[in-house]
Amino acid sequence: MIQKVAASEIHQICAAALLRAGAPESHARLQVDLLLEAELRGRASHGLLRLPRIVARIRNGVADPRASGRHDWQGDGLLQVDGECGLGPVVACAALDALMERAATTGVALAAIANNNHIGMLAFYAERVATRGAMLIALSTSEALVHAWGGTKAMLGTNPIAIGVPAAPLPFVFDMATSVVSMGQIHDHALRGAPIPLGWALDASGRPTTDAKAARGGAIAPFGEAKGYALGLAFEVLVAGLTGAALGRAVRGTLDATEICNKGDVFIVIRAAQMEAMAASIALYLDEIRDDAPAEGFRRVAIPGDRANAVRAERLRDGVPVAGNVWDDIVALARA
């Protein structure tokens, strides 16, 4: 059921599918860069399985593969972006490029992006910015999938955060959802008929469940109990306050193929003079943490990104494992 496909082949076939759907070549390539990078980092939930939905959204007129977003500088450092229903990473990277240029003189620049499609794995953007010598704080919202701490209904998005910080030789790249797991992991357990641990999710009536199928219609728990809930909620209101995005249960278009996407994305790019001098100290500090004696049950102490970098190296060498049905669907789209 799982086959290994070379990264270069994945790139070519996926890009062909998007070209057929009407995307200009540079936009198709950027969208595929993002999906492939998720696969290379071992994050299949943000990888190839998203492509057929992106194509369907283009066909249904809720994604415009030619748009890259309209830019309106509301202040010297504050960019309002109307995503014009463009492809998520196309609109996001156009905004990032503008922020990188502006932050060279302002030191800090922020983009508040509305009306954009799903921007996928945020680590992609954090790495892009940090390897170019700047810092990034990225926030995004999504459809309500997560319950409040002490609540019973899905009221918050999985609201991820990513932070990229230059370090030598590799940047520090951190990316996480504020849910305890992704809805992708719940679906994966449901497909395999496997139970989920208690504490991951509630069923549709708001009761804790170990039944992955029941969890699909319920709500995922926030990570870190009350604190993680509060953090995800803070991101939800901050992003909506800056972008005018919908809130909570009113958010649409990150999981379906038919509705205009009304969530928001916020990027903050920072360029400070001393960052370059600090890159070496930060790398030393990260190594000091890696060298800490591991606790019982752990083989080593990891830094965010360590596992992703190892998996990427392996998959670039040996190919990317892709579920057969996912790959067949994409090949069909490329040849349709």
Residues 97-156 that bind a second copy (CB under 8 A): 103, 105-110, 112, 135, 137, 147-153, 155
Q: Per residue in 283-295, is it b (16+ CB within 10 Å) or e — as a string?
A: beebeeeeeeeee
Contact in structure between 121 and 37 (CB atoms under 8 Å): yes
In this structure, what is the dihedral angle of CA atoms 150, 151, 156, 162, given to the nearest 10 degrees?
20
Of 56, 282, 311, 331, the one binding a second copy (CB under 8 A) is 282
Distance CA 172, CA 185 (A): 25
When asked if residue 304 is in the footprint of a second copy (CB under 8 A), the reply is: yes
When asked if residue 275 is in the footprint of a second copy (CB under 8 A), the reply is: yes
* Residue among 18 and 96 whose Cβ is closer to a second copy: 96
Minimum distance from CB of 255 to a second copy (Å)? 20
Minimum distance from CB of 67 to a second copy (Å)? 21
When asked if residue 61 is in the footprint of a second copy (CB under 8 A), the reply is: no
**Which amino acid, 321?**
P
Distance CA 251, CA 244 (A): 12
Of 93, 248, 322, 330, the one binding a second copy (CB under 8 A) is 248
Identify the burial level of 125 via C-beta atoms within 10 angstroms of its C-beta, where 0-12 means exposed, 13-18 middle and 19 or more buried: buried
When asked if residue 274 is in the footprint of a second copy (CB under 8 A), the reply is: yes
* Residue among 240 and 320 whose Cβ is closer to a second copy: 240
When asked if residue 316 is in the footprint of a second copy (CB under 8 A), the reply is: no
When asked if residue 42 is in the footprint of a second copy (CB under 8 A), the reply is: no
Query: How many residues lie near a second copy (CB under 8 A)?
Result: 83
Radius of gyration of the chain (CA): 20
